[in-house]
Every structure is written in structure tokens, then in C-alpha cells.
Amino acid sequence: MTTILASLPSPPDGVWNVGPVPIRAYALAIILGIVVAIWVIEHRWVARGGPPGMVFDVATWAVLFGLVGARIYHVITDWQLYFGEGRDPLDALMVWKGGLGIWGAIALGAVGAWIACRRRGVPFLAFADAAAPGIVLAQAIGRWGNWFNQELYGRPTTLPWGLHIDPANRPPDLLDVATYHPTFLYESLWCVGVAVLVIWADRRFQLGHGRAFALYVAAYTIGRAWIEYLRIDPAHYILGLRLNDWVALLVFLGAVTYLFLTRHEGREEIGQPPPDESASEKSDEEDEEEVTT
């Protein structure tokens, strides 16, 4: 007799111990997303005329700043999980247990990328345009960490693709409900769609001066808003909407405003980074040799 899958299963465990070392699926998803992002960004950056090999340097700054920003945003917006009676503030440092806010990651990650671009002498907005599809693909992959952790799912549902959640990870008032909207999957698929949209629009309209990045931000926030509306994890509410919905709305308006106000046509020129000191010294020595001969 053929059985029909009535729901999507959840992994039984998100941590595998290799000797004394715990390997966490949440971390692996983030790392895989970063690797894919670097590969995509390097390809797009070089295709735009950018110097090859610099993406890893910029990514190092962006990832370090982004992780700090993501954790800070999460701790600030979910402060009740770490401060107050019965809470341990040191838990705020335990990133491996989950809890990263994409808004903080993008904001502070952009600061890190800006610093790296200035160090390399390349236009930051041009790099941001090249990076946009890679960033959103990293988000698509990273969301699968929530699947392994059985967290950040949506409302109860009886749809065939409902996600089965173990009783230990269900809300206290819904212990008898087994399946929920797989918001991690919705957001992952949405992010892939955003990447496709940005790549298509960038090729079709030759987006530059930060417009490809702004399109990514605007498109992502639309999906994040309705996905956030489905989620039932604890959150702060303002005028009936979750805090992240308000953030998504404000970021969307900012991105759309930037798109409408930016009147640049085509893409900016990407100059080669200035030579380092050793290269300059070598060039000076060669000039001196030509003079003496």
C-alpha cells in the first residue's frame, strides 16, 4: 500500500558530535551560504571589471562585522531572553545556540564591506551591486539552519507541506498541534527568486550606483513582511504588527526611495586599486636603472 507524505519532516538532531567537538547544522548552513556568496560575488565582480581576488578580503570584513551586527540586533530586539529575572546575560554571547537578525547583519556587514572597499580603492556601491545576488543566496541557504533547529516556524497548518515539529519544540499552548507553516522554506525560496530577479534586472537595465543592491533590499523586504506575519515565535508588537514587520516596511520605503531618486544611467567605472608600496618601489628602481643606462 502506498503512503502519502502528510507533512515535511524535521531533522531529529541539529548537532553531531565528532569526538569532543560539536558540529552544528546551523553553523554549517551559514558557512555554506558564505562560500556560495563569495563564489557568486567574485564571478560578478570580475565580470564588471573589478580586480580579481579581492572579494575574499572584502567578505572577511563584511562577515565579521555582519555576525556582530546580526547578534546585536537579535539581542536588542529579544532582550527579554537574556536580561531580567531568571536570565543569564552571558547567553547573549552564545551565537552557536541560534539567534541572528538579518537586519543587523546587512547593516553592519555593509560597514565592514565599505571599510574594505576603501582600503582597496574601489567604489563601494559598485561592489554592493555585484554582491547583491550572492548575499541573498547566502540568506536562502542560511535559513535551513532554522529547519535543523526546529525554530522560527509559522502558524499551525494542515497543508501537505506543513512542517512537523517535535513536541519539545512546540509552543506551550499548541502541544497537541504537530504541523506548522515551514517559514524557513518560504523565505529560502523567496530569496532564490530575489536573486534571479536582481540578476535579470541587472543584465536588462545595466543597474549601477547601488541600484541593484536597492532592488535586492526592496524585493527581499516584501517577502520578509508576509513571512514574518506567519511566524508565531515570541516578538514585540507595535500597533498590531511584529517589530520586524515595521523594520521591513521602513527598509522597503528607503530602498524604493533610493531607486526612484537615483538618476544615474548605466554603471560606474571600476578603477583598478592603487599599487602597493612594494610595487611602487620596484617601479622606481626600474626607472632609476633606465636613467643610469
State percent of the chain over pLDDT 90: 66
Task: Convert 46-108 into a string of H (helix), E (strand) and C (coil).
Answer: HHCCCCCCCHHHHHHHHHHHHHHHHHHHHHHHCHHHCCCCCCCHHHHHCHHHCCCCHHHHHHH
Check residue 78 and give its pLDDT. Answer: 79
Q: Confidence class of residue 98 from pLDDT cuts 50, 70 and 90?
A: low
Residue 102 has pLDDT above 50, yes or no: yes
Highest mean pLDDT among 91-105, 221-235, 273-287: 221-235
Residue 291 has pLDDT above 60, yes or no: no
Model confidence over 157-202: pLDDT tens digits? 999 999 999 999 999 999 999 999 999 999 999 999 999 999 999 9
- Cβ within 8 Å of residue 8, ≥6 positions away: 161, 162, 163, 164, 182, 185
- How large is the average pLDDT for residues 124-146? 96
Does residue 285 fall inside a structural domain? no
Average of per-residue pLDDT values in the chain = 87
Residue 226 has pLDDT above 70, yes or no: yes
- How large is the average pLDDT for residues 70-82? 82
Does residue 167 fall inside a structural domain? yes
Does residue 91 fall inside a structural domain? yes
Does residue 278 fall inside a structural domain? no
Does residue 20 fall inside a structural domain? yes
Strand 163-164, strand 179-180: pairing: antiparallel
Does residue 280 fall inside a structural domain? no
Higher pLDDT among residues 282 and 154, named by residue: 154
The pTM (predicted TM-score) of the whole model is 0.85
Check residue 290 and give its pLDDT. Answer: 47
CB atoms within 10 A of CB 117: 22
How many CA atoms lie less than 13 Å away from 175 in the CB half-sphere? Answer: 3
CA torsion 59→94→103→108, rounded to 10°? -40
Among 46-55, 80-89, 170-179, the range scoring the smallest mean pLDDT is 80-89
Residue 242 has pLDDT above 80, yes or no: yes
Residue 282 has pLDDT above 80, yes or no: no
Higher pLDDT among residues 36 and 276, named by residue: 36
H helix or E strand, kind and range, residue 36 = helix 25-47
CA distances from 265 to 136, 213, 259 (A): 24, 15, 12
Model confidence over 252-269: pLDDT tens digits? 999 999 999 987 777 887
Model confidence over 200-224: pLDDT tens digits? 999 999 999 999 999 999 999 999 9
Does residue 2 fall inside a structural domain? no
Check residue 5 and give its pLDDT. Answer: 56
Model confidence over 4-33: pLDDT tens digits? 456 899 998 888 888 888 888 988 999 999
Are the C-beta atoms of residues 198 and 41 closer than 8 Å to each other?
no
Question: In total, how many domains does the chain have?
Answer: 1
Does residue 275 fall inside a structural domain? no
Q: Which domain holds residue 189?
A: 15-269
- How large is the average pLDDT for residues 106-127? 94
